[in-house]
Amino acid sequence: MTESVKVWSLHLGVLALVFAAQYVLPPYHATNLARIMVLAVFAMGYNIAFGYTGLLSLGHALFFAAGFYGMGLPIGLLDWAPVPALILGLIAGGVLAGLVGVLALRTAGVSFMIVTLMFAQAGYLTLLYLNTWTGGDEGFVVDRAARVIAGNDLSLDGTRFVAAFGLFAAAMVGCLWLVRSPFGRVMVAMRENEERSRMLGYDPFRIKLIALVLSGIYAGAAGAAYGLLFGYVGASFATIQYSILPMLYVLLGGAGTVLGPFLGAVLMFYLVDITSGYTDAYLFVVGAALVGLVLFAPRGILGNLRERFAPWLP
C-alpha cells in the first residue's frame, strides 16, 4: 500500500464512521456530534495557522464571530437567503483574518499573541458597542424560516447532522489536500525555520498571511454554520474563551495533524459535558487540561502517536 493510499483510506474511513454514527447514536449525542463537527472545523482552521504554520494566535474568536455575524446580520437585517449568507460569513472570517494578519504579522511570538488577543478583544467590545444591530451580549435568534435550504429544514436533527457533516467532510478533505500540497510543505517550513525558508526564496510575510487567511476562512465557515444550524448569534462567541477553545482542541488532539482537531474536540467536549453535570466550575477542567498538556504532552495524542508509530500521519 502506498503512503498516499494509506493516508486517504484512514481519513475517508474516519469520515465514513462519523457519518454512520448518526444511525447509532441517541438524539442527544447525535446533536452533540453535529456541534462537535462544526467546532472541529473551527479547530482545523486554527490548526492550519498554529499547528502547521507556527502562528500561535489568541484572536481566532474574532474570525469565528465574523462568521456568525457575517451570516446572521444579512439574514436578520436584510432578509438574505441562507446560502449567500453562509458564504458571506465565510468570507468575513477570511477578510478579518487578512486585515489582522497584515498588521499582526509584522510581529512574532509573544507580541503576535498579544496583538491578536487585543484585536479580538476590540472586536468583541465593538459587538457590544453596536448592540442596536448585534444584540450585544444577548445576541439574536436566527429566524427558523431563514434556516431552510432547498426545502431542508436545518433546525431538524437529521438535516442538521447531515449539513454539519457536509461542512466537516469538506473541511477535512480540504485540509488534508492542503497540508500534503507543496504549499503545505512551505507552511511547515515557516514553522520550523523562517530564516532558512526566506533564503529558499519564500516571502515569510506572504506565506503566513495566506495561511492565516485560510485559517480565518475555516473559522468563518464554522461560525456561520454554527449560527445557522443552531439558530443563534451572540457576542459571547467573540470572547477570549472561543480563542482558547480551538487551541485546546488542537493541543489535545495533536498540533499539526489533520485528525487532531476533531479528536481533541470530541474528547474535550465530553470532558466538559460530563464535569459540568457535577459542578459549575467546569472551566477548571479546561484550565487543568491546558496546563497538563503544555507540561506533559505538548505534541498531543496524535502527535505522540505519529512520533512513535506512524511517521506518515499528515
Q: At 141, which helix (H) or strand (E)?
A: strand 140-141
Distance CA 170, CA 189 (A): 25
| Under rule CB under 8 A, residue 272 binds another protein | no
* 289 belongs to the binding site for another protein (CB under 8 A): yes
Question: Residue 290 CB, nearest distance to another protein (Å)?
Answer: 3
Regarding 48 and contact with another protein (CB under 8 A), the answer is no
164 binds another protein (CB under 8 A): no
How far apart are the C-alpha atoms of 239 and 213, rounded to whole Å? 20
- Closest contact distance (angstroms) between CB of 211 and another protein is 15
Do 68 and 223 touch, CB atoms closer than 8 A?
A: yes
C-alpha to C-alpha distance for 295 and 98, rounded to whole angstroms: 32
Residue 144 or 206: the one with the smaller Cβ distance to another protein is 206
- Residues 49-68, one symbol each (x = binds another protein by CB under 8 A, - = not), give -------x-x----------
Number of residues forming the site for another protein (CB under 8 A): 57
> Residues 129, 133, 177, 270: which binds another protein (CB under 8 A)?
129
Surface-to-core class of residue 294, CB atoms within 10 Å of its CB (0-12 exposed, 13-18 middle, 19+ buried): exposed
* Structure-block grid coordinates of residue 57: 494566535
Stretch that binds another protein, among 71-79, 154-162, 210-218, 279-287 (CB under 8 A): 279-287
Q: Is the four-CA dihedral 151, 82, 250, 4 of positive or negative sign? A: positive
Query: Residue 52 has what DSSP assignment?
Result: I
Does position 278 bind another protein by CB under 8 A?
A: no
Nearest-angstrom CA–CA distance, 219 and 39: 9
Helices marked H in 82-149: 82-104, 109-129, 131-134
Nearest CA to 190 out of 172, 158, 169, 212 is that of 212
Stretch that binds another protein, among 30-38, 141-149, 163-171, 293-301 (CB under 8 A): 293-301
Binding segment toward another protein, per CB under 8 A, in 40-48, 66-74, 198-206, 260-268:
198-206
Does 114 bind another protein (CB under 8 A)? Our answer is: yes
**Binding residue for another protein (CB under 8 A) from 14, 162, 283, 297?**
283
Among 14, 174, 282, 305, binds another protein (CB under 8 A): 282
DSSP letter at 143 equals P
Which residues contact another protein by CB under 8 A? 56, 58, 103-104, 106-107, 109-111, 113-115, 118-119, 121-122, 125-126, 128-129, 182, 185-186, 188-189, 192-193, 195-204, 244, 247, 251, 279-284, 286-295, 298
